[in-house]
Structures are given as structure tokens and as C-alpha cells.
Amino acid sequence: MLEIVGRFKLADIEVQHGWMASSEARAVSEIKALLNAQGHHWKDASGGANPTETLKRRIQQGDAPTAAAIGGVKIMNWARDGVCADLSDVARDERWSSSLPAVFDAMIQHDGRYVAVPLGVARTNMLWVNASIVKRLGLSAPRTWNDFFVMADKLKAAGIPALAHSEQSWQVGTVFEAVALGTGGTPFYLSAFSKLDPSALTGSQMITALETLKRLKPYITPDSVGRDWNLATADVMNGRAAMQLMGDWAKSEFTQGGKVQGSDYLCWPAPTGSGDWCFAADTLTMFKQTDPHRAAAQRDFVSLLMSREGQEAFNFHKGNIPARTDVDLGRFDDYSRQSARDFASAAQSGVLVPSWAHNMAMQDDVRLGFFDVIEAYWKDDRMSAADAARRLADAARR
């Protein structure tokens, strides 16, 4: 009996996260297996109905988990309180800065100390396309939003909605995010959505982005109220619509539906002028451990997550691409390999931007305020773009 018990160690690594979908759970299981091989054990920690409050309470009680799924600007909320582990020795020894895009390297540091680990990244400004429809009509990927509307008119003339859509606020926000990046470019996008500059939020480029968003309304599927995103994806799969604007996670729906990239569906970047790439990153923020054994396990955990092996294992099953730019993608599909090339190119060109709609660029109160404004503007044809822009600037001051 003691022999059996000895093989099942108590968890020395505890992670608070919400990665419960099938692909996410498989990705986590791959990391768990690699940890087990090192003699460690990952325990899942539930955040409950309010993960932030759960985490605060545990830290106050001296029982911080090893890590929590926290990314983007919200990493700094915890780092400023002095509760994050200092990973700088590991990061320096393993030369993280040489394998991460500069924007990621900066995101996981506070006051020059590394406090978090980026696992993988999804692109949010993508069009998922019914291949049969666009091939039949002789359509190709639009380079600008004006090109998109020319294509949308051709689809409408053929009786086909250009976009499968839902009026859930985060989905309207996701579309608007891509439109704003595509019409305004990276400098405008960063000023408006990362810096929350009032002049960018109310200026002519924002007005253009808002007007472009509303121009999409005649080209969407008719039953768009309150539908989950995967139902909109199904519209593209079964030919009820030509395209959906959604993040990389839409690919899993096509895969599970037995669809083949290239013959059944295509993947087009949403129109941008310079290959602008909007990202949402899976990131684990690390917390101080008072127990020396758990602190040592955390260091091993961090090294594994940032290793090429760990990043390949996690992202191959999650459907993302690695945060590191030097991972062998031989096992990945054509889309992932092309996305990784575009990701590296965008990083080199300075057009890699954080998704505000997907928790990377702004605090929750501002993000939810922006969702409210964009949803109201989308639904109310009487609201002008200028009025919506003023409301965004007001929401940014919360």
C-alpha cells in the first residue's frame, strides 16, 4: 500500500484557470504529463464565480496558487501589489528575450522583473470563409475594407449574407476591433485602445471605424440576436453565410465538423493595410510561494512552460501558435504555420497589437464599458458615430 501511495505525490503546483473546453483540457493534460515525468503534479484550482476575488482571498490568507491564467495589462494589477514571483533568474538564464516578440517580453515584466509566462497566442482578426461559395463567385481575400464591401455586394446579389454574425456584445466588439485596426492602422489602434487617448477616441479615424462597422449591417445573417459564436461558425460551414470574423478558436469548429482547410474552408486575415496582427495570449502569472518545495516546483514549471517542448505540446492541442518564435511547427497544420510566419513578420514590423476585446489591452471596467457603447451603437441606427465616439471617451475615464 505504501508503495502505491508513494507514486501519487501531493500536488506541488496549483493553477487557477478556466481551460475546460475539450481542446483546452487536452492541452493542459499534455503539460501535466510532462510535469509528472519530472516528479511534479499539477492540481487545477477553481476560481469560482469570481476568480479575481477568489485569488485575492487566497493571497491574503497566505495560500497563493502557483499560477493563475491572467494576461495582458491585468498582469500589472498583481505585480504592483508585490505578490508575484520574480522569474528573472530563469528568464535571464534561458534567454527569454531572444525568443519572444518585444511586445510579449514587455507584457510579462514589471519594473524589470519577469512575473508571468506567455504560453501561446491566438489571432483575433481573421475571416473564416466557405471555400465553395467564394470559389463559385470568383472572390478573393480583400485587402481593404472597401474591397470587402465590393465583395459583400456580389454575395448579396447572389442571395448570400457576407457575414455570419451575433449581436452578443463581445462578438460585436471583436468585429469592431478588427475594423478599427484595418481602417486606422496600428498607431491609431494603440493610441485609442491601449493608451485610451481622448483625441484618438473621438477623432476622425475613430469616426471612420464606427461608420465602417455600421456599414456591415445589411450584409449579416438575419437571425443574429444573442447567438453563440459557434452557431455563427456553423452558418459558414453549411453555406448559410460566406464568412465569419472571429479568432483562431473558430478553426476547431471546422476541424470537429470534419471540414478540410483549403477545400471546405479558407482562412483570410481581416483587411489591414500592413499585415496588422491582433493577438490574445494565453498567459500564466506566477505568485510568490512561501514553501521552499513549492517554490522549487514553480521554477521547474516555468522552465517547462517556456521550453520549446512545452510550448509545442500545449499549443498543438489548444489550436494556438507558440508565444516563442523559434518552436518547430512541423506537427502543426498549414494555417498555424502561416499564422506563425505572419505573427513573426508583424512583430518585426511593429504591427503586433493586443486585443482589447479579449482582455489584453484594457482593464475590465473600461472594456465592458466599450462593449456597452459598441453594442448600443450597432443596435441603434439613430446613434451617430460621433455620439458613439464621445461615449467611448467617457467610458475610458471610468
pLDDT at 8: 44
Q: Kindly state whether residues 145 and 218 are assigned to the same domain.
A: yes
pLDDT at 10: 72
Nine cell digits for residue 188? 491609431
pLDDT at 4: 36
Q: DSSP alpha helices (H): ranges in the chain?
A: 2-6, 22-37, 51-60, 75-79, 88-93, 102-107, 131-136, 145-157, 169-189, 198-202, 204-215, 229-237, 250-256, 292-306, 308-318, 334-349, 364-379, 385-396
Q: Is residue 2 part of a domain?
A: no
pLDDT at 9: 53
* Segment 105-130, tens digit of pLDDT: 999 999 999 999 999 999 999 999 99
CA angle 323, 173, 218 (to 5 degrees): 125
* Segment 371-394, tens digit of pLDDT: 999 999 999 999 999 999 999 999
Could you tell me the CATH number of the domain that includes residue 211? 3.40.190.10
Q: Kindly state whether residues 327 and 196 are assigned to the same domain.
A: no
In the block, residue with C-alpha cell 508503495: 3
* Range of the structural domain that residue 235 is part of: 126-278+354-396
pLDDT at 252: 85
Q: What's the CA gap between 124 and 177, in Å, rounded?
A: 9
Per-block average pLDDT, block size 10, for the chain (398 residues)?
42 94 90 98 93 96 97 97 98 97 95 97 98 98 98 98 95 98 98 98 99 98 82 95 95 90 97 96 98 98 98 93 95 94 94 97 96 97 98 95
In contact, 212 and 271? CB cutoff 8 Å: no
Q: Kindly state whether residues 117 and 176 are assigned to the same domain.
A: no
Q: Kindly state whether residues 219 and 303 are assigned to the same domain.
A: no
Q: Is residue 1 part of a domain?
A: no
Q: Kindly state whether residues 307 and 217 are assigned to the same domain.
A: no
Q: Is residue 386 part of a domain?
A: yes
Q: Kindly state whether residues 71 and 184 are assigned to the same domain.
A: no
Q: Kindly state whether residues 221 and 273 are assigned to the same domain.
A: yes
Q: Is residue 252 part of a domain?
A: yes
In contact, 213 and 148? CB cutoff 8 Å: no
Q: Kindly state whether residues 134 and 258 are assigned to the same domain.
A: yes
269 DSSP β-pair partners = 126
Q: Kindly state whether residues 221 and 261 are assigned to the same domain.
A: yes
Q: What's the CA gap between 148 and 141, in Å, rounded?
A: 8
Q: Is residue 3 part of a domain?
A: no
pLDDT at 187: 98
pTM given for the model: 0.90
pLDDT at 289: 98
Q: Kindly state whether residues 61 and 172 are assigned to the same domain.
A: no
Q: Is residue 23 part of a domain?
A: yes
Q: How far apart are the first and last CA of the chain?
A: 59
Q: Is residue 226 part of a domain?
A: yes
Taking alpha carbons only, the member of 331, 281, 283 closest to residue 116 is: 283
Q: Kindly state whether residues 338 and 236 are assigned to the same domain.
A: no
Q: What's the CA gap between 205 and 211, in Å, rounded?
A: 10
Work out how many domains the chain is built from and give that number: 2
| Domain endpoint, select from 349, 367, 383 | 349
pLDDT at 101: 92
Q: Is residue 4 part of a domain?
A: no
42 DSSP β-pair partners = 13
pLDDT at 398: 76
Q: Kindly state whether residues 304 and 392 are assigned to the same domain.
A: no
